[in-house]
Amino acid sequence: MTTAPRMRGSMPRPRTSTFIDTRSWVFWTSIALGFGAFAQVAPLVLESLLANPASGALSAALWTVYGLVFATTVYLLELYERRPLVNVAGALLWGAIVAVGVSRIGGPAMHSIVGDWLGDGSSWVSAVAAPLVEEPLKALGIVALALIPGARIRTVADGAFYGAMIGLGFQVVEGFLYTARTAALSGDAMDTVWQMFVLRGIVAGLWSHAAFSAIAGAGIAYFFVSTGPAWRRWAIALGSLTAAMILHGLVNSPLIHGSQVTAALIKGVPIVIVLATTIHVGRLRERAIFARMARVTVPDHLVSPADFEVLSTRRRRQHARADMRERHGAQAARDLHRLQRAQLALLVAAHSDGMVSARAAEAAGWVTAARSALAWSVVGR
């Protein structure tokens, strides 16, 4: 997000490198919410661990590894930049602590309201009540990041990425709590842990909370970064959040009968379609932004439009490195890889902070050094 720096007298307020900004009321409000929510989550986690220590420990280990693998995969698959790890951790913690903790307060109240409306015996209560509480709480994490300049929510793709991290944090903690509690009450606790983990993590987990929050996060980011009419920004933000709630409700609904695995797979189809479309549109918008940066803002000797044609997709970058390796050897390919990373860092810095910023100047220095090293590898031997 390219937010104008706040002025203090005649001096611009410097932007922090991460979401940790001690001068931001949003940051401190998030910290306060985190402590309050932790007081709700910690007893639940401890109770789930102690109900059956062996199965509880296995549940915790499985869901922790699941979260780490999922987060690492999404992080490494990002097309143009690697977000700051502090921001990634903050997004995960919002989902795991704030969203889970506050939903433990608001969830029962919403279930009671929906139960009175639909009837306590209705199988639709969870499908209606849970999304109305959980999706807005997760979405608030994206809003908080967007309001802190250091978080650098500057594209729709940023919103989708951080939304996925928030949803993943929520999914891991909720999955652990369900798995550990169900196992503690079953006759074969360890076998139940594996069954629950496969169902909630592998079968249904790939299009669960991370997907819902990525969809909502993309729309919320559009609200903050777009220069379009206010009605369109509001419509897309609220529409994406509504879509996330509807898809969440679909997963919880009794619409599809049969085995849990079959139902989860069928329900996953529309979720995957909406998520894939969201990611595709977000990447197209991000690509257009950086193409314009290469064409208009960044000098051609650093990143030209022709350079960006190669940088625009992961496949083109890999093909260029393979071609360089074949023509000039492994060292030249490694130098080209460094140049590509430096050029992408410059485009990101120029878009986030401006071409005259210290961050952009540092990235420009990396580009110059990497280009010199590549030239030496190609012709200087």
Average pLDDT, integer, range 88-112: 94
- More confident call, 198 vs 259: 198
Using the predicted structure, report yes or no on whether residue 243 has a pLDDT greater than 60: yes
Using the predicted structure, report yes or no on whether residue 244 has a pLDDT greater than 80: yes
Report the chain's terminal Cα–Cα distance, integer Å.
Answer: 44
pLDDT given at position 3: 45
Q: How far apart are CA 197 and CA 63, in angstroms?
A: 8
Task: State which amino acid sits at residue 208.
Answer: S
Q: Which residues of 242-270 are buried (b: 16+ CB within 10 A; e: fewer)?
A: ebbbbbbbbbbbeeeeeeeeebbeebbee
Using the predicted structure, report yes or no on whether residue 10 has a pLDDT greater than 70: no
**296 three-class SS:** helix
Using the predicted structure, report yes or no on whether residue 7 has a pLDDT greater than 80: no
Stated pTM of the model: 0.90
Q: Among the residues of 186-229, which ranges form H helices?
A: 189-197, 209-225
Mean pLDDT of the chain: 90
pLDDT given at position 11: 44
Using the predicted structure, report yes or no on whether residue 120 has a pLDDT greater than 70: yes
Q: Which residue(s) pair with 11 in the sheet?
A: 8
Using the predicted structure, report yes or no on whether residue 334 has a pLDDT greater than 90: yes
Interior CA angle at 80 toward 218 and 240, to 5°? 5
Lowest-confidence segment of 63-67, 87-91, 180-184, 349-353 by average pLDDT: 349-353
Average pLDDT, integer, range 207-231: 94
Using the predicted structure, report yes or no on whether residue 194 has a pLDDT greater than 90: yes
Task: From residue 89, give the alpha-carbon distance in Å to each of 33, 75, 83, 163, 349.
Answer: 16, 12, 10, 12, 21
Q: How far apart are CA 216 and CA 202, in angstroms?
A: 22
Binning the chain into helix, strand and coil, the percentages to the nearest 5 are 80, 0, 20
Average pLDDT, integer, range 317-326: 94
Q: Exposed (0-12), middle (13-18) or buried (19+): which is 73, by Cβ within 10 Å?
A: exposed
All structural domains of the chain with their residue ranges: 7-293, 300-379
Lowest-confidence segment of 7-11, 269-273, 327-331, 337-341 by average pLDDT: 7-11
Q: How far apart are CA 157 and CA 113, in angstroms?
A: 36
> DSSP secondary structure string, 366-380?
HHHHHHHHHHHHHH-
> DSSP secondary structure string, 229-284?
-HHHHHHHHHHHHHHHHHHHHHHHSS-S-S-HHHHHHHHHHHHHHHHHHHHHHHHH
pLDDT given at position 381: 55
Q: Please, which contacts does 261-268 make with residues 24 or more away whose CB atoms are closer than 8 Å?
A: 261/199, 261/203, 264/199, 264/203, 264/204, 265/203, 267/204, 267/207, 268/204, 268/206, 268/207
The phi-psi region of residue 185 (left if phi > 0; otherwise alpha if psi is between -120 and 50; otherwise beta) is: alpha
296 closest CA partner among 308, 312, 313, 283? 308
Q: Do the beta carbons of residue 160 and residue 138 sit within 8 Å?
A: no
Task: Name the DSSP class of 207.
Answer: G
* Residue 8 binned pLDDT confidence (cut-offs 50, 70, 90): very low
Average pLDDT, integer, range 58-79: 93
**What are 299's two structure tokens?**
């000098």
Cβ count near 231 (within 10 Å) = 8
* Residue 261 binned pLDDT confidence (cut-offs 50, 70, 90): confident
Q: pLDDT by residue (tens digit) across 350-360?
A: 988 888 888 89
From start to end of 97-214, where are the E strands?
none
Q: How far apart are CA 252 and CA 262, in angstroms?
A: 14
